[in-house]
């Protein structure tokens, strides 16, 4: 590797580290000296709060997993640690699961184990500073202005970070005594699911965390409530599901983090389920919350007396919502994100797609986990981050409500036709920044001047969009509603932002300079004072140069000694003597130069600093005013951001349809599935680059009260998988309200989509290909209904031929007779094609192939009928298997085929019972009880009516009754 570069950067880091140690020791911003961290006298500080549980930590109770904690537990005498060390240890002990970013001056420092972990993870230099109990304290640090980058890397690696800030002015601490430590506290926990910084977020992806709660509904069954919160946009949705649907629901939401109470976290099957998601899993020490306190928490958060207006929630949903708010409070501490009131998403309203199907169809990411190459990446023509997120959300959760699907289609159709309006809206939207995330940062007090500018630009874009839409006649309802939401925002606030904000904006408000000159008279005055002082300094430099006769005299500035005069060594020697001695005070001697301060410079410096302070105070005041004004309008702005995203998605789908010649599918309540000229959007896009045309194919699985099954055979590489998947993707597109890649499509709405495509070992989960295949097939055969669409590709391939064939055979019969679903079944077991004679709703189709000069040519055309053979040897030859192997295989094959002819499979089919799979295997009815003559004879007797003699005779008669 590049050794030089590596050594170079190490060298650089150590210089920086050294510089900052010096700087810190003199920094006016931090009263704490690093030496205080490890010197030996001190006092105790106030106990630190645990950000997860709210409990107060006792440093004596800390466990030894971290160096800091170990140090604390070994330290029987807290008097031996410095005050700052005691403070650090307490805060660290209160947040043991997090890396602690401990603010010191312009750096976040990490100590002990945290330092070692972070230095390894971030590739930054580990230094040592001071000793604790005779051992060096490992330390590393990150500068404040680069903290976001480092945070991003740590979060991506699965760490959590507790950010500990100075919570008082060092001057205040000084008032308590020279040895007192600046107060610090954790102000925020940074976790994967709660980040808000633009640089840490993927603009095209929601950043959800999911709180999960459950309630028992029987001895063996639970109902799960899920609360999904995106702090970066304020989205807050609830849903509920049974255990079987939990994994699909998590896959639909695709959270970055899952927050679960310990009881759920420790449940082995659930633990496995969570581990299979890509999300970080955070156990919550306390059991979520009972529904009553969850309800109270919700009411408090949203300032409402009753939750009725939000809709009716299940108890598990309420508990999950409570947990979610609990987690928001625990990670954001004193900040309160703007959340929209929770809305309920019903699982019955969306097309159910389990995690395996989602992965197989590569809806939002490919099997290898990338967005590029997925259906989402192929169809994404959105131009705003909010639009990209909404498109991903709609693709992940297509609808089942025909009316709602049609409303979305109407909106797309309108913009397909109105191409001028579409272009106008899209070009306006292109200028639109991420309104929702900027608003959220402002709400959390983490906003900067650029967030204000984002709102200014976003609100103006909203106004322009609204105008363009309003001028268009006969808007369909979805676009009409969106336009209304856009109009509801008062653009007055955007106009005042435009007046106030400068053209060039700093990232951080504390850098100042973001208010336009001429906007505020007081600010202009303070700035002029700064300017004047600078001119005065230039004049002073000229005067000093003239007086000392040194033309190279310069007035300079640094953070350590402020303004100073710098002269060459020789002049410096003169300045140490009268008459200059009284004016110039020696500060530093450098190599070849000397530095002096003067009273005049000191006074000027104070004046400049106070003018700068005043200017910044005024700017910050104006920032707060503008933020407050925006936050007052936050519900309207949030609704406006949502409307802009919806318009962007609609226009993007229209653009896609127009560009690629996609058609509006007919979606209704029937069990139709008729597609003419269907294409696979991703394969087609990939082929376009190579100039190869994609061959469109029809399919018809329509039925009256049950769907048809198409059994597809054909050689490898013929296009079976492509054909199967394209039909599934067309359903997803149609039900999300988009146009589809086909000449025409008629789809009776699908309730569940299942796909078992390809074979992949899942060794990470300890399952073989075959096990995975069977688990997924079981899920399909147990859950598919007549309204479902099932795609099965090469089932039974992972085991011995007869095993596999038998399983595939039985699975088809089950699908046909029991599930009655619309299905596509690709197989290399040609034996199965004879089932078409038996099963009335099963038909054969094959991928057309031709041979040319002994080579196989794939035509990728689906035609009725069965493949005559596999062409396996031809494909093997194409793949480059040695000729000797091919020839030997040919001999073996003809021998196998000869034996097979003597025992044809058709005969076996005929031997099998006709209906191998009964529709539902009914348990045998209990047989009627046999007649019991003895009982009848006994019942006929009434002992109270019998004389002793009659009783004796009756007894003899009973003895004579034959037993049954």
Q: Which residues bind ligand ADP (CB under 6 A)?
A: 683, 687, 694-695, 714, 716-722, 860
Nearer of residues 141 and 718 to ligand ADP, judged by Cβ: 718
* CA–CA distance, 16 with 149 (Å, rounded to integer): 18
Nearer of residues 196 and 697 to ligand ADP, judged by Cβ: 697
User: Least distance (Å) from ligand ADP to the CB of residue 855?
Assistant: 15
Nearer of residues 385 and 796 to ligand ADP, judged by Cβ: 796
User: Least distance (Å) from ligand ADP to the CB of residue 680?
Assistant: 7
User: Least distance (Å) from ligand ADP to the CB of residue 717?
Assistant: 5
753: number of Cβ within 10 Å: 24
Nearest to 6 by CA among 147, 123, 126, 139: 123
In the numeric block, which tokens belong to residue 574? 């003169």
Nearest to 278 by CA among 344, 372, 205, 203: 205
3 state SS for 506-539:
CCCHHHCCCECCCCCHHHHHHHHHHHHHHHHHHH
Nearer of residues 281 and 826 to ligand ADP, judged by Cβ: 826
User: Least distance (Å) from ligand ADP to the CB of residue 757?
Assistant: 9
Nearer of residues 465 and 729 to ligand ADP, judged by Cβ: 729
- Kindly tell me the burial class for residue 846, based on how many C-beta atoms sit within 10 Å of its own C-beta (0-12, 13-18, 19 or more): buried
Q: CA of 632: how far to CAs of 335, 636, 825, in Å?
A: 16, 9, 57
User: Least distance (Å) from ligand ADP to the CB of residue 57?
Assistant: 58
Nearer of residues 643 and 683 to ligand ADP, judged by Cβ: 683
* CA–CA distance, 948 with 456 (Å, rounded to integer): 111
Nearer of residues 688 and 888 to ligand ADP, judged by Cβ: 688
3 state SS for 66-130:
CHHHHHHHHCCCHHHCCHHHHHHHHHHHHCCCCEEEEEECCEEEEEHHHHHHHHHHHCCCCEEEE
* CA–CA distance, 111 with 88 (Å, rounded to integer): 9
Question: Are 183 and 166 contacting, i.e. CB atoms less than 8 angstroms apart?
Answer: yes
User: Least distance (Å) from ligand ADP to the CB of residue 161?
Assistant: 44
* CA–CA distance, 585 with 214 (Å, rounded to integer): 74
Nearer of residues 52 and 694 to ligand ADP, judged by Cβ: 694
Q: At what angle do helices 477-487 and 634-660 cross, to 10 degrees?
A: 140
For tokens 């700035």, the residue is 527
In the numeric block, which tokens belong to residue 237? 């949705």
User: Least distance (Å) from ligand ADP to the CB of residue 859?
Assistant: 9
For tokens 């899993």, the residue is 281
User: Least distance (Å) from ligand ADP to the CB of residue 774?
Assistant: 20
Please name the residues in contact with 139: beta carbons below 8 A apart, sequence gap of 6 or more: 109, 110, 111, 115, 126, 127, 128, 129
Give the torsion through C-alpha atoms of 889, 891, 896, 899, to 10 deg: 180
User: Least distance (Å) from ligand ADP to the CB of residue 687?
Assistant: 6
Question: Are 194 and 325 contacting, i.e. CB atoms less than 8 angstroms apart?
Answer: no
Nearer of residues 458 and 681 to ligand ADP, judged by Cβ: 681
Helix extents (H) in 431-510: 435-443, 449-470, 477-487, 492-500
**What kind and span of H or E run contains 820?**
none
Please name the residues in contact with 539: beta carbons below 8 A apart, sequence gap of 6 or more: none
Nearer of residues 148 and 861 to ligand ADP, judged by Cβ: 861
User: Least distance (Å) from ligand ADP to the CB of residue 828?
Assistant: 9
User: Least distance (Å) from ligand ADP to the CB of residue 885?
Assistant: 21
Nearer of residues 24 and 828 to ligand ADP, judged by Cβ: 828
Nearer of residues 571 and 713 to ligand ADP, judged by Cβ: 713
**What kind and span of H or E run contains 190?**
strand 184-190
User: Least distance (Å) from ligand ADP to the CB of residue 721?
Assistant: 3
User: Least distance (Å) from ligand ADP to the CB of residue 677?
Assistant: 11
Nearer of residues 239 and 755 to ligand ADP, judged by Cβ: 755
Nearer of residues 208 and 731 to ligand ADP, judged by Cβ: 731
User: Length of the chain in residues, anyone?
Assistant: 964
Nearer of residues 259 and 847 to ligand ADP, judged by Cβ: 847
* CA–CA distance, 809 with 803 (Å, rounded to integer): 10
Residue 104, strand partner residues = 107
Nearer of residues 374 and 409 to ligand ADP, judged by Cβ: 374
User: Least distance (Å) from ligand ADP to the CB of residue 730?
Assistant: 13
Nearer of residues 397 and 714 to ligand ADP, judged by Cβ: 714
Q: Which runs of E-coded beta strand occur in 234-319? A: 235-242, 257-261, 280-284
Sort strands 673-678 and 709-713 into parallel, antiparallel or unpaired.
unpaired
Under the phi-then-psi rule, with left for phi > 0, alpha for psi from -120 to 50, and beta for the rest, what region is 474? left
User: Least distance (Å) from ligand ADP to the CB of residue 699?
Assistant: 12
**What kind and span of H or E run contains 360?**
helix 355-361
User: Least distance (Å) from ligand ADP to the CB of residue 372?
Assistant: 17
In the numeric block, which tokens belong to residue 505? 């904006």
For tokens 């984002």, the residue is 454
**What kind and span of H or E run contains 774?**
helix 769-783
Please name the residues in contact with 680: beta carbons below 8 A apart, sequence gap of 6 or more: 694, 722, 723, 725, 726, 729, 741
Q: Which residue has its beta carbon closest to ligand ADP?
A: 719
914: number of Cβ within 10 Å: 6
Residue 392 three-state SS: helix
Residue 740 three-state SS: strand
Nearer of residues 147 and 867 to ligand ADP, judged by Cβ: 867
User: Least distance (Å) from ligand ADP to the CB of residue 373?
Assistant: 12
User: Least distance (Å) from ligand ADP to the CB of residue 861?
Assistant: 7
* CA–CA distance, 785 with 815 (Å, rounded to integer): 9
Nearest to 475 by CA among 661, 659, 646: 646
């Amino acid at each position: 590797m590049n050794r030089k570069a590596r050594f170079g950067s190490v060298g650089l880091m150590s210089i920086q580290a050294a510089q900052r140690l010096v700087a810190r020791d003199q920094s006016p911003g931090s009263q704490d000296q690093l030496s205080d961290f490890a010197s030996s006298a001190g006092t105790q500080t106030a106990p630190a709060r645990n950000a997860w549980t709210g409990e107060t930590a006792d440093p004596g109770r800390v466990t030894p997993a971290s160096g800091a904690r170990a140090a604390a537990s070994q330290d029987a005498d807290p008097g031996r640690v410095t005050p700052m060390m005691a403070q650090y240890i307490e805060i660290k002990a209160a947040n043991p699961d997090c890396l602690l970013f401990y603010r010191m001056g312009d750096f976040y420092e990490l100590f002990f184990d945290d330092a070692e972990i972070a230095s390894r993870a971030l590739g930054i230099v580990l230094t040592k500073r001071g000793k604790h109990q005779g051992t060096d304290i490992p330390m590393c640090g990150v500068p404040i202005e680069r903290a976001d980058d480092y945070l991003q890397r740590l979060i991506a690696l699965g760490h959590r970070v507790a950010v500990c800030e100075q919570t008082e002015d060092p001057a205040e601490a000084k008032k308590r005594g020279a040895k007192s430590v600046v107060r610090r506290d954790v102000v925020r926990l940074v976790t994967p699911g709660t980040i808000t910084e633009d640089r840490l977020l993927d603009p095209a992806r929601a950043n959800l965390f999911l709180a999960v709660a459950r309630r028992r509904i029987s001895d063996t069954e639970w109902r799960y409530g899920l609360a999904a919160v995106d702090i970066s946009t304020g989205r807050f949705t609830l849903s509920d599901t049974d255990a079987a649907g939990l994994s699909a629901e998590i896959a639909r939401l695709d959270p970055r983090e899952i927050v679960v109470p310990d009881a759920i976290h420790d449940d082995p099957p659930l633990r496995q389920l969570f581990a299979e998601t890509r999300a970080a899993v955070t156990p919550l020490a306390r059991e979520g919350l009972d529904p009553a306190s969850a309800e109270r928490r919700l009411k408090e958060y949203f300032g409402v007396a009753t939750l009725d207006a939000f809709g009716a929630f299940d108890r598990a949903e309420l508990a999950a919502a409570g947990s979610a708010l609990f987690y928001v409070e625990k990670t954001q501490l004193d900040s309160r994100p703007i959340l929209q009131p929770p809305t309920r998403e019903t699982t019955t309203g969306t097309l159910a797609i389990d995690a395996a199907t989602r992965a197989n169809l590569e809806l939002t990411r490919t099997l290898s986990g990338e967005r590029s190459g997925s259906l989402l990446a192929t169809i994404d023509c959105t131009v705003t981050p909010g639009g990209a997120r909404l498109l991903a959300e709609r693709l992940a959760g297509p609808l089942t409500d025909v009316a709602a699907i049609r409303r979305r289609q109407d909106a797309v159709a309108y913009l397909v036709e109105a191409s001028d309006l579409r272009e106008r809206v899209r070009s306006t939207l292109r200028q639109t920044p991420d309104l929702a995330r900027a608003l959220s940062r402002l709400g959390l007090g983490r906003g900067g001047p650029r967030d204000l500018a984002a709102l200014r630009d976003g609100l103006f874009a909203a106004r322009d969009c609204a105008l363009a839409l309003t001028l268009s006649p006969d808007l369909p309802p979805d676009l009409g509603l969106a336009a209304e939401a856009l109009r509801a925002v008062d653009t007055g606030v955007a106009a005042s932002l435009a007046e106030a904000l400068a053209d060039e904006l700093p990232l951080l408000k504390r850098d100042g300079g973001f208010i336009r000159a001429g906007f505020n008279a007081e600010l202009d005055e303070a700035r002029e004072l700064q300017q004047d002082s600078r001119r005065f300094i230039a004049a002073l430099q000229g005067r000093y140069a003239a007086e000392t006769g040194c033309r190279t005299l310069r007035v300079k500035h640094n953070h350590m000694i402020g303004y100073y005069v710098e002269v060459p060594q020789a002049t410096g020697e003169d300045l140490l003597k009268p008459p200059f001695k009284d004016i110039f005070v020696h500060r530093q001697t450098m190599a070849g130069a000397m530095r002096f301060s003067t009273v005049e410079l000191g006074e000027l410096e104070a004046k400049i600093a106070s003018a700068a302070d005043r200017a910044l105070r005024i700017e910050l005041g104006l920032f707060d005013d503008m933020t407050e004004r925006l936050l007052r309008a936050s519900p309207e702005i949030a609704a406006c951001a949502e409307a802009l995203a919806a318009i962007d998605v609609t226009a993007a789908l229209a653009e896609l349809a127009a560009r690629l010649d996609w058609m509006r599918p007919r979606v209704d309540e029937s069990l139709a599935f008729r597609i003419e000229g269907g294409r696979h959007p991703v394969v087609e896009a990939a082929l376009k680059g190579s100039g190869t045309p994609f061959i469109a194919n029809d399919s018809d699985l329509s039925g009256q009260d049950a769907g048809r099954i198409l059994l597809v055979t054909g050689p490898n590489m013929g296009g079976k998988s492509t054909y199967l998947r394209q039909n599934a993707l067309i359903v997803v597109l149609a039900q999300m309200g988009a146009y589809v890649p086909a000449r025409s499509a008629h789809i009776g709405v699908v309730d569940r989509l299942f796909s078992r495509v390809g074979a992949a070992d899942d060794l990470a989960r300890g399952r073989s290909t075959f096990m995975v295949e069977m688990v997924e097939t079981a899920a399909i055969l147990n859950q598919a209904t007549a309204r479902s669409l099932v795609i099965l590709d090469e089932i039974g391939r992972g085991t011995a031929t007869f095993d596999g064939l038998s399983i595939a055979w039985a699975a088809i019969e089950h699908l046909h007779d029991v599930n009655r679903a619309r299905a596509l079944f690709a197989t290399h077991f040609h034996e199965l094609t004879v089932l078409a004679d038996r099963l009335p709703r099963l038909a054969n189709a094959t991928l057309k192939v031709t041979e040319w000069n002994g080579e196989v040519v794939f035509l990728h055309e689906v035609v009725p009928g069965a493949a005559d053979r596999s062409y396996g040897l031809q494909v093997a030859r194409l793949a480059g298997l040695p000729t000797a192997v091919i020839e030997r295989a040919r001999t073996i094959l003809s021998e196998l085929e000869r034996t097979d002819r003597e025992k044809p499979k058709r005969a076996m089919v005929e031997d099998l019972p006709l209906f191998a799979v009964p529709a539902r295997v009914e348990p045998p009815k209990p047989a009627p009880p046999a007649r019991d003559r003895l009982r009848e004879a006994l019942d006929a007797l009434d002992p109270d009516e019998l004389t002793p003699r009659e009783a004796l005779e009756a007894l003899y008669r009973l003895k004579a009754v034959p037993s049954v």
